[in-house]
Amino acid sequence: MNKVINYPIPEGAVLQNDFHVRVRAVGTEEWQDIGCYQVKVDMREVRRASMAYFDFTGEVEVEITRLGWYSIYQVDVRPKSVQAQVWFDTKVIRITLDKPAKLSIEVNKDRFHNLHLFAGAVLETQPEPENENTLYLAGDLKRVSIHRTEELIAQAEKMPAGRVIYFGAGIHYLEECTMHIPSDTTIYLAGGAVIIGTFIVRNVENIRIYGRGCLYLAGFERFSGLNGIRMSHAKHIRIQGIHLINPPHYSVYIGGCEDILVEDITSFSCEGWSDGIDMMSSRNVTVRDCFLRTSDDCIAIYGRRWDYNGDSRNILVADCSLWADVAHPTMIGTHGDYEHDGNFIEEVRFENLDILEHNEHQMGYLGCLAINAGDKNTVRNISYEEIRIEHIEHGKLLDIQVKFNPDYNPAPGKRIEGVSLKRIFYMGSGEEASQIRGYDGEHKVLDIVIEDLYIRGKKVESLEEANIEAGPFAENITIR
């Protein structure tokens, strides 16, 4: 059955009026208007782009009108792997979708005032707002709701485990900007809910945060350090389906955690240190089906940092689109327990990724697929498979180094060993030379296998052809 679920936008939400978006189920005549939220991108020169979302089943048509005096001469719909059906003329774009997609619609090569269009699957389960074990915060589309979070949580804790806190459509302010979530709690953000503040998940377990609403933090300054969702020493946590708009620090912060799922989220940032998803001393983490456009690393995996200390292992990042306006789409290894013997960062897999952009001008921070082992860390058993890199404004494909970075590392890393790169595709041009190198004879890179690397449609057969500089202190590098 072809069906569209459209969500209301509350009065007072910050919108962007570059596009008029309509959607309808195939086989019907009635169009539904989809509002566009404002998202800020690129910290070097902050610009205001658009984000719209809806859910559907079956097949839908989307009509996009570029407002203003613009005449459309080119439309790019990315990631290209989606292969959407696209038609356009000088004013209107039409796209037909038969499965969920997270897309960037770029008119006349403009990647900074584009439309981010998120066409999702209908949620399989939603809580009942009137259930006796649900704390229902109804919201209001006409006015702001303000929540005294300590009182709200005290009320929730009187309910049995498995309690639900339900944010309905509307704008919700969290008092003191934070909400500490107790164990055995589900937080549900209905479509059309806009939460101003951050969720803290600390020393707890069995938490689910999901829905179709937004966490909106664009009004906070960079040095407030607020994250979208902060998980500290927590386990058995699920974050699913929500949108994070411009947190000044990490979108999802994972420190000293175990058994974490981050799935089907979208995130935007435009500040220094505003990484997407960062993991420190954490184990058994899965990140799947996310769209991250950030002004620092999209995905970063470390050992020790701050009060988190321990190895990081068994991490999967799959089926995601990564867009680094600044820094790395993926990064492993910078931070660790330099005061003692470092940490192990191991058993990490990146699978089926679309990297839409990498743009960094500081030479020490280049690399779409970057492993920079510092702080006495050992990085081992890392795999990258089926990675499609569409565009590099300035950067490298690979940067695999044991290194000493004086900005962040009191000591160099120990070693990198056992890295597999398979079916890597780069379609752009003008990339800097990739590097694979150790620090010295005691701090080496060992056993790197590159299989089926394609650059501009051609399979490369040698390191020279791949524009990879190997050595010094890098051994047993194979390309085939």
Task: Convert the pLDDT of each residue in 383-435 to its tens digit.
Answer: 999 999 999 999 999 999 999 999 999 999 999 999 999 999 999 999 999 99
Q: Work out the average pLDDT over 187-207.
A: 98
Residue 73 pLDDT class (50, 70, 90 cuts): very high
φ, ψ for residue 220, nearest 5 deg: -95, 145
Residue 70: predicted pLDDT: 82
Compute the CA torsion angle 292, 195, 286, 321 (nearest 10 deg): -20
The tokens describing 96, both together, are 């037909």
Residue 52 pLDDT class (50, 70, 90 cuts): very high
The tokens describing 143, both together, are 């006015």
Task: Convert the pLDDT of each residue in 322-334 to its tens digit.
Answer: 999 999 999 999 9
Residue 184 pLDDT class (50, 70, 90 cuts): very high
Q: Is the pLDDT of residue 69 over 90?
A: no
Q: What pTM was estimated for this model as a whole?
A: 0.98
